[in-house]
Amino acid sequence: MEKKVEQKVKLKRVLGLFEVTLSGLGIILGAGIYTLIGEAANLAGNALWISFILAALVALITGMSYAELASLFPKDSAEFEYIAQASISR
């Protein structure tokens, strides 16, 4: 039988909090607000502000779930570790 050799690769942090925050803000503004505001205003009408509040709630819940995932698997690439652990426990 062949043994599987696991390599422990440690990722380097090259982006700080400021860079990641600006990158996320740029992605949100570029892709979300500027391209979809017209369509959202057409569909939501006067309740456009409610749709933005709902979208902010969804974004908050998504961010919190990623924070919990990162706390459960504190190594680099927490999503990969989660999938690997979930597929093993099946």
Q: Which of 10-14, 17-21, 57-61 has the lowest mean pLDDT?
A: 10-14
Report the alpha-carbon distance of residue 58 to residue 53 in Å, rounded: 9
| pLDDT value of position 5 | 58
| pLDDT value of position 60 | 92
List of residues 6+ apart from 38 with CB closer than 8 A: none
Furthest C-alpha separation in the chain: 67
pLDDT tens digits, residue range 39-72? Answer: 777 887 888 888 789 888 998 998 888 788 778 7
| Residues 78 and 11: beta-carbon distance below 8 Å | no
Which value, in Å, is the radius of gyration of the alpha carbons in the chain?
19
| pLDDT value of position 8 | 72
pLDDT tens digits, residue range 25-35? Answer: 888 777 766 66
